[in-house]
Structure 1
Amino acid sequence: MERLTAVELGAELGERATLVQFSTAFCQPCRATRRVLAEVAGMVAGVAHVEVDAEERLELVRRLGVVRTPTVLVLDSAGQVVRRAAGQPRRVDVIAALGAAC
């Protein structure tokens, strides 16, 4: 499993978990995903939401094998990837995935 740092992401990791979203400028489902992840991060203490522009961070996209947007990674408090999903997630699925990280 991959481990990501705050430096690699350009943002602080959450105390309990981090929702990392890979997006592109013209990706329609990315907007809805942004809303869902921000909402969940706002509801669950210690959870951060970080959005990464896939076009600007090609080295990270290649390293992590991101092939479509949105792709969401759930990191635990140490930055370890514990869940991964491509496509627009449902709020209930994001909350369930956080259970594996917290």
Structure 2
Amino acid sequence: MTGLVVCVVVLAVATTFGLLRAWHDGRMRVGSKDGTVRLSEAELGGPLGSRATLVQFSTVFCQPCRATRRVLAEVAGMVEGVEHVEVDTEARLELARRLEIRRTPTVLVLDADGRVVRRAAGQPRKADVIAALGQAV
């Protein structure tokens, strides 16, 4: 009987964790706690947008990174003055650690000055990216 109880508890905990992770995955949140994290073109290896920049941290084998790349490229193409820069997390490990990138894809939304205003761990929805750009511009 105790084996059955343990099984049910483990199943309940795993289900709760999965639901919470799915709810949190890809949600845009405040970029940096104090608003002072700023990135340059040299650090990113790509140009900053005149209005905003979408920075995607990816790895080669990350499946959700491909879908995220398409969403961000599409949004950057729709909004004038917005650039999309993709950073290989493995090649830029020091930068990823400094920015506390813990999983891929992670998306940072920068304002025109390169300040991180929003971030999302996991694949963001297109509508959430557009809304985050509204806060960055």
TM-score bin (small chain)? over 0.9
| Paired position in structure 2 for 1:63 | 98
Runs of 4+ with >6 A deviation: none
Report the aligned-residue RMSD: 0.4
* Aligned match for 1:54, one of 74, 79, 89: 89
Deviation string 1:46-70 (CA, Å, 9 cap, x unpaired) is 0000000000000000000000000
The structure with the largest alpha-carbon Rg is 2
Offset at residue 20 of structure 1 (A): 0.1
Higher strand share: 1
Letter in 1 for 2:115: Q
Identical-pair percentage: 76
Kindly indicate which of the two structures has a greater share of residues assigned to helix.
Answer: 2
**Displacement after TM superposition at 1:30 (Å):** 0.1
Q: Which runs of 5+ in 1 are unaligned?
A: none
Aligned residues: 102
Deviation string for 1:19-43 (max 9, x for gaps)?
0000000000000000000000000
Structure 2 residue runs without a partner (length 5+) = 1-34
- Per the normalisation by structure 1, the TM-score is 0.99
The match for 1:88 is 123
CA distance in 1, matches of 2:47, 2:106: 19
- After superposition, residues 19-30 of structure 1 pair within 5 angstroms as 19-30=54-65
TM-score by length of 2: 0.74
